[in-house]
Amino acid sequence: MNALIVGCGKVGTELARTLVNDGHNVSVVDTNEKALASVSEAIDIFPVPGNGADINTLRDAGIDTADIFIAVSHSDELNLLACLVAGSVSERLKTIARVRNPLYSKETDFLKSKLGLSKIINPELAAAAEIYKLLQFPALSRIDTFAEERAAIFTMSVTAGQSIEGKSLQEIGSETDYNILVCAVERNGEVTIPSGSFVLNDGDEISVVASMSQMKMFLQTLGLRSESAKSCLITGGGTIAYYLTDMLLKSRRQVRLIEINEGRCGMLSEAFPEAEIIHGDGTDKSFLLKQGLKYVDAFVPLTGIDEENIISATYAKNVSEAKVITKINRTDLNDVMDELHIDSAVFPKLICADSIAQYVRAQSMGLGGHVETLYRYLDNRLEILELIANDDPELTDIPLMELGSRLKDNVLIACIIRGDSFIIPSGKNVIRKGDSVIVVTTHSGISSLHEILA
């Protein structure tokens, strides 16, 4: 497919890299020629300097032959206008706009209808939702859901003394009645899609597929926290904090939010009278202690500076039992987070890129809907997809024990969702038309279930 991106900031750059890696032709428009040059040196794109809402600039970038148009500049208004202009060129063109302002986010259906947008993406809202999910399950470092939350992939660390430590996956399965599957393991920087003989060691980071109810029971068996965080201390009152506070208050959680800008404090106090909004420096260690850092269930640093968030999160891990989740803008800091052993880090730019890549893959099939959900793990070395099964005679109604030899290497069919049924498949199970199939793979760019065949 031919993709045209407006904006080469962190989101635009990450998105361009993702789409190029998936085999698409990508043009990028931005007024900053220096930034464009830097991106084009690192990624095989066609750079076009200029205003993304100018039709002549868009024609230079190939709008007439583009299949998909994605506006992710720093301005919501420019993104919306650029999509409107681009959409006027061709009715078949799919247009996606990044819209971050909470005011606009409440009108997404209206904006999509009136401006003819195919999709609106809000990285800050998506990041807040990700943090909120993790606060429901503090023992996990990551949780992603599929099929309207009928299934989940959750990530956690194996520690010494746990009942699963030192045992093979086959042993774990035979000793429990849980309908779960360990589908990926990271050990010493290496990613493995494990077989039944794989033995779990202290320090392994495992990704597990399960239903939501089975996941809770599994955590309880391991003696891990399965109840949600009741009280939360947030530092930084930006857009993500705004969305997160709204979610927490609606679920009757206690929220204390520290913001250094007095004017912003006033706005947040008016928006959230049930929250405790505090004017102060959320990076000051003694101030954090005075605000109850040692006693809250969760601590979430969300300032605009990554280094401040990392330092605050590290300090909190040393003085508190709180679940610590932070937001990081720079994707290259992922390895640093692993070394510091902070509970969880959320990367809004990656969430945005994954969401758009999922949409592009579905559209690239010409049928739409093959890729229902897409998540990337472990520095993009692992992909977990929800794929919808069509009436494919090479795949459907064939026992998996017969299908297994025809699968690509490093492909695992982790789960089948059929109606309300959640199935961890055995060799006798089959895939039927309409099933949601969860696939775990180290291959990139899979767009349909047929592509898992060798």
- Counting beta carbons within 10 angstroms of the beta carbon of residue 178, is it exposed (0 to 12), middle (13 to 18) or buried (19 or more)? middle
- Counting beta carbons within 10 angstroms of the beta carbon of residue 286, is it exposed (0 to 12), middle (13 to 18) or buried (19 or more)? exposed
> By the 8 A CB rule, do 424 and 415 touch?
yes
Closest CA to 248 of 256, 259, 237, 236: 256
| Most confident of the ranges 293-297, 348-352, 376-380 | 293-297
Q: For residue 49, is it left (φ>0), alpha (ψ between -120 and 50) or beta? A: beta
Give one DSSP letter per residue of 5-49, joined into a string: EE--SHHHHHHHHHHHHTT-EEEEEES-HHHHHHHHHHS--EEEE
Give one DSSP letter per residue of 261-317, joined into a string: -HHHHHHHHHH-TTSEEEES-TT-HHHHHHTTTTT-SEEEE--S-HHHHHHHHHHHH
Give one DSSP letter per residue of 84-99, joined into a string: HHHHTT-TT-EEEEE-
Q: Tell me if the pTM is above 0.85.
A: no
Report the pLDDT value the prediction gives residue 369, as an integer from 0 to 100.
41
Give residue for tokens 């280094």: 307
Which class is 357-452 in CATH? Answer: alpha beta
| Residue 311 main-chain phi, psi, to 5 deg | -65, -45
> By the 8 A CB rule, do 12 and 88 touch?
no
Q: How confident is the model at residue 326 (pLDDT cuts 50, 70, 90)?
A: very high
CATH number of this structure's domain 231-346: 3.40.50.720
Give yes or no for residue 225 having a pLDDT over 80: no
Tens digit of pLDDT for each residue in 46-57?
999 999 999 999
For residue 2, list its beta bridge partners. Answer: 25
Tens digit of pLDDT for each residue in 170-204?
988 887 777 889 999 999 888 899 988 999 999 99
- Residue 59 token pair: 């024609």
In whole angstroms, give the CA distance from residue 419 to residue 440.
Answer: 21
CATH topology of domain 145-221: Alpha-Beta Plaits (3.30.70)
Report the pLDDT value the prediction gives residue 415, as an integer from 0 to 100.
92
What superfamily in CATH does domain 2-121 come from?
NAD(P)-binding Rossmann-like Domain (3.40.50.720)
Give one DSSP letter per residue of 99-121, joined into a string: ---HHHHTTHHHHHHHHT-SEEE
Tens digit of pLDDT for each residue in 415-440?
999 988 889 988 899 999 999 999 99
- The reply to whether 2-121 and 231-346 are identical in fold is yes
What are the residue boundaries of the structural domains of the chain, listed by start? 2-121, 145-221, 231-346, 357-452
Closest CA to 310 of 296, 330, 294, 291: 330
